[in-house]
Structure formats: structure tokens, C-alpha cells
Amino acid sequence: MSPSTALRPEVPFVEGEDLEAHLAKAGLDAETEAFCRSLAQNGYALIDLGDEARALCDLAVADTDRLFARHPGANRIQDAWLRSKAVRRLAASPKVARMLEAAYGRKAFPFQTLNFLRGSQQGLHPDSIHFHSVPERFMCGVWIALEDVQPEAGPLVYLPGSHRLPVMTMRDAGVNDPRPSPEQYASRFVHGFAERLAAAGLPDERALVKKGWAFVWAANLAHGGAPVTDPASTRRSLVVHWYFENCLYYTPMTSDVEGGRLSLRMPANVATGGWEWPRKAGRAVYPGKTPLLAAILKRVFKPLHISEG
């Protein structure tokens, strides 16, 4: 093992038991310390990205509104960073990268973007069933408000503290299948996860995020979109999913975690425009033909996925 590998934490600082001991010797500024404490205690934390980012929000809105205008009824664009410099610059914010590295102890990279025009009204879910890592919990979501969020526009809703619940796998949800599917996610996991949340009895909160601020959630935090009560409202936002270096990256929804069969991913790196190999003990791991081909096609054709939900 190289010295740098030996120094990498196996548990993110903000997900472990020793955060205060770490902060005492890390010499971080007050804003970053507060960010780490909030992420550890609540499973979320806010970052003011500053005035330069607020100007980028306007450019990102102009770019994505043009794309939405070409697809009437659409509410979601996946990977607009491939076509919009402003979306890409916001997604790869150096301030976010710095604060995530301080909080997790490994270098972070953004691997996917989602732009929403209106509230998503998504059901409560943890990202840890969509994207996960080995070692676990080296993943987070960064939700950036491109305009001030109004209460009637379907704000982000989340359950503080739910990140501390055990990570739920497809088998935990009763899917006894070595090759689980998105259909089984919809028919079993969603229900099983809702039951787990009800048993935990955690109250929900809504995020009325101001333009140019980022709401960061831990991989296992339950979150979704509140109902939109004003159908004429917009809620332009940019969700950026981040991973951390030197991990295996995989899709839990189609993996058999307990059986050791992981659907490996070859995530893009939005900051560099390339991709990242999944790694184990510092060594690149072949992810399989499908993810490798998907990564190459993404780089060459820069596909956008524009959809209603």
C-alpha cells in the first residue's frame, strides 16, 4: 500500500465517530468546520457559493430555459453540463470541491447533473440506492438553487438525521434476486423505505434555498420534492451528484450487495470532462463492457436526457 493510500480514511470524516478529534487538528476555517458539523449531525449543510456563482446561475438558467423551450412539458435535463459552460462551472464549483474534501477526507469529483424547471415532487428516497461506493458513503448530492425557492413551488424536502439509519439494500427491501431491477425498486424498495422512515418517526423539513446557495446532502439522507401548490411556479435548480476518489462506484438498485455482485459504474468527471475508473486498494478495476462503452459514448456524443419527471 502506498503512503497516500494508507492515509485515506475508510469512513468519511463526517460519517464517522471522530469528527471532533479530526477538526481539532485539521486547521479548517470556521465556515468549513460549521459545514462539516452540520453534515455530520443533520445529514445536510448549506454553502453560500457567492456572487460569481449567482451570475453563473443566470447564465445556466438562460442555457437550460432554451433547452426546456424545445421540449414542451419537460421538467428535467440530465447532464446539461455537456452543453452549457455555466452549468458545468457551477457543477464543478472549486469551493464545493474544497469543502467536500475537508468533510470526507478524499478528493471529490462531480459526476452527473440534473436541472429541474419546476418542483420534482419526487418521493422520499436516499441516493445510496441509486449511487453508492466501496468503502461506503463516499457519495453526496449538491443541490444548487438557480432562483430563490418559494414555499408553493415544491421545495426540496428532507428528514434531518435519516442519514444515520442503516443503508437499505434491495435485499433489505425483500428483493431476493441476484439481479434486481428498477421495476423491483418501484414495487418493493419504495414501499420498504417508506415503512422504515415511518418507524424511525423523524419529522421532515423543507429547504427554502436562496439563489446561489447549495444544499448538500449525505448519501443516505432521505429527501425528495414537496408537492407543488402553485402550478404556475418555477423552481429552477441544479442537482450535482459527487463521488470521491479511489473507490468502487456502483448502482445498488441493480446490484446484489450481499451476494457481492455490484453493477459497477464508470462515472464521468464533470470537472475534467473525462471519466474516473472504479478503484480498489488504489488499483483501477475493469467495470465491465456496458459501463465502459457508456462512458466512451457519453464523451463522444454528449447525450442529453430530457424528460418530464
Ligand X SMILES: O=C(O)CCC(=O)C(=O)O
Residues near ligand X (CB under 6 A) are 114, 116, 119-120, 122, 127, 141, 156, 223-225, 237, 239
**Smallest distance from ligand X to CB 23, Å:** 28
Of 141 and 291, CB closest to ligand X: 141
Of 211 and 223, CB closest to ligand X: 223
Rounded Cα distance between 25 and 155, Å, is 37
CA distances from 206 to 104, 226, 266 (A): 25, 8, 33
Q: Which residue lies nearest ligand X, judged by its C-beta?
A: 225
**Smallest distance from ligand X to CB 152, Å:** 14
In sequence order, what are the beta bridge partners of 113? Answer: 240
**Smallest distance from ligand X to CB 130, Å:** 7
Of 5 and 229, CB closest to ligand X: 229
Rounded Cα distance between 194 and 204, Å, is 13
**Smallest distance from ligand X to CB 29, Å:** 29
Of 127 and 136, CB closest to ligand X: 127
**Smallest distance from ligand X to CB 43, Å:** 14
**Smallest distance from ligand X to CB 33, Å:** 27
Rounded Cα distance between 73 and 309, Å, is 10
Phi, psi of 217 (to 5 degrees): -120, 145
On the question of a cis peptide bond just before residue 180, with omega within 30 degrees of 0, the verdict is no
212: left (phi over 0), alpha (psi -120 to 50) or beta: left
Of 35 and 217, CB closest to ligand X: 217
Of 105 and 141, CB closest to ligand X: 141
**Smallest distance from ligand X to CB 80, Å:** 14
DSSP assignment letter at 161:
T
How many angstroms separate the first and last alpha carbons of the chain? 45
Sign, Cα dihedral of 82, 87, 93, 97: negative
CA dihedral 81, 253, 47, 165 (to 10 degrees): 180
**Smallest distance from ligand X to CB 28, Å:** 27
Of 82 and 114, CB closest to ligand X: 114
Rounded Cα distance between 170 and 130, Å, is 11
Phi, psi of 176 (to 5 degrees): -95, 75
Q: Which of 35, 93, 98 is nearest to 60 (CA)?
A: 93
Beta strand pairing call for 76-78 and 305-307: antiparallel
Of 141 and 267, CB closest to ligand X: 141
